[in-house]
Chain A
Amino acid sequence: MAKIKGSIVVNIERCKGCGVCVPSCPTTVIALADEVNGKGYHYAYMANPETCIGCANCALVCPDAVITVYKMKVNE
């Protein structure tokens, strides 16, 4: 069966760690990192990359537009 797999790329240095993307993710992919970026913010990253479906919900709510979303069909 074809399956949709997605992935996000976060612009780490521009992320302000507001965490608005975290509850918007339907498959709980995103979490805030323990590390901080250059400005001292706990940036968003993919904690569970295998469950990402590329729905772009996180990118839609991101106030700083730091998330880029990709998705593709894979045949299992």
Chain B
Amino acid sequence: MAENSINKDIVKEENLVFKKTGLFTDKPLSYCPGCGHGTAHRLVLETIEEMGIQSETIGIAPVGCSVLAYEFMDIDMQQAAHGRAPALATAIKRLYPEKFVFTYQGDGDLAAIGTAETIHACNRGENITIIFINNGIYGMTGGQMAPTTLPGMKSSTSPYGRDIQSMGNPLKITELVAQLPGTYFVSRQAVHTPAAVRKAKKAIKTAFENQKLKKGLSFVEIVSNCNSGWKMEPVQANQWMVDNMFPFYPLGDIKVPAEQ
């Protein structure tokens, strides 16, 4: 049925508009259906491909759902201990200052166990790029409450919803690092609609270009869904994200360098 609907006149090499970037390896992504990680991976890889820096880029994979990022990205990668990706990226960037170094971290990695490394790397203004995927939950381990879990949001360790009195407030780490003098560019994006994907791509590209100009640390948060952790269908989870996550984590550039 699907094969029959392909129009042989249109499907030709010269009419190609969009295809999967060649920087993906042949491994199928291990993420749940509809997970924003796949789109975020693709945007990072497309940026690297467009800038022609495949052989000069070193990525740092985190611990979390995206722990296997090095299996999917056809670039040099390291895998850091839980939360230590910014520290490892600092070391690599200092040893190879001409390389492009980025970390790819989830909210459990960056905003919980790795808070100290994140804040100090941002404060030192290391010339690296941090891609932060925020889905408000520990997706890999079974949907436990994360520092970024919204007030009242249900997770497997807050089954009646996050209670601020006993469980504390969610951490807006992106706003936090934007206050630090070392960060040059801080932005929050999403990947749930085509328009959001285009904006996120632009932000990621800016973040990598800043590294080329040796401007300091660029930090891009991507608010994502976790349909398995949230116990929703992918499309429904995206809608829930728009209704609940975006009022708390508003999209847009948080810190942009002043015009020259």
Known: A9-B11, A63-B29. A33 touches B16 (CB 8 A): no
Residues in chain A near residue B34, CB distance under 8 A: 16, 18-20, 63
User: What is the predominant secondary structure among interface residues of chain B facing chain A?
Assistant: loop
Q: Enumerate A1-31 residues with CB–CB distance to B below 8 Å.
A: 5-7, 9-10, 12, 14, 16-20, 22-24
Closest A residue to B19 by beta carbon equals: A68
A54–B19 alpha-carbon span in the complex (Å): 12
Closest A residue to B16 by beta carbon equals: A70
Known: A16-B33, A65-B42. A59 touches B5 (CB 8 A): no
A35–B29 alpha-carbon span in the complex (Å): 22
| CB < 8 Å A-B pair total | 113
Contact assessment for A61 and B191 in the assembled complex, using a CB-CB cutoff below 8 Å? yes
Closest B residue to A39 by beta carbon equals: B28
Binds A, one of B139-147, B171-179, B192-200, B245-253: B192-200
Contact residues on B (Cβ < 8 Å of other chain), bracket = 35 or more
Contact assessment for A23 and B2 in the assembled complex, using a CB-CB cutoff below 8 Å? no
User: What is the predominant secondary structure among interface residues of chain A facing chain B?
Assistant: mixed
A62–B21 alpha-carbon span in the complex (Å): 13
Contact assessment for A71 and B15 in the assembled complex, using a CB-CB cutoff below 8 Å? yes
A5–B10 alpha-carbon span in the complex (Å): 8
Residues in chain A near residue B33, CB distance under 8 A: 16-18, 41, 63
Closest B residue to A26 by beta carbon equals: B194
Closest A residue to B14 by beta carbon equals: A72
Asked whether B6 is an interface residue with its Cβ less than 8 Å from the other chain, the reply is yes
Residues in chain B near residue A47, CB distance under 8 A: 5
Give the Cβ gap from B249 to chain A, nearest Cβ, in Å. 19
Q: Which of A5, A19, A70, A72 contacts B234 (CB 8 A)?
A: A19
Closest B residue to A41 by beta carbon equals: B33
Contact assessment for B39 and A70 in the assembled complex, using a CB-CB cutoff below 8 Å? no
Give the Cβ gap from B130 to chain A, nearest Cβ, in Å. 21
Give the Cβ gap from B175 to chain A, nearest Cβ, in Å. 27
Give the Cβ gap from A30 to chain B, nearest Cβ, in Å. 11
Contact assessment for A56 and B18 in the assembled complex, using a CB-CB cutoff below 8 Å? yes
13 pairs of residues in contact across A and B, judged by CB atoms under 8 Å: A5-B10, A10-B2, A33-B2, A47-B5, A49-B5, A59-B18, A60-B194, A60-B197, A61-B39, A63-B31, A63-B35, A63-B37, A70-B15
Which residues of B are interface residues toward A (Cβ below 8 A)? 1-2, 5-7, 9-12, 15-21, 24, 28-29, 31-39, 42, 191-194, 197-198, 227, 233-235, 238
Which residues of A are interface residues toward B (Cβ below 8 A)? 5-7, 9-10, 12, 14, 16-20, 22-24, 33, 35, 41, 43, 45-47, 49, 54-57, 59-72
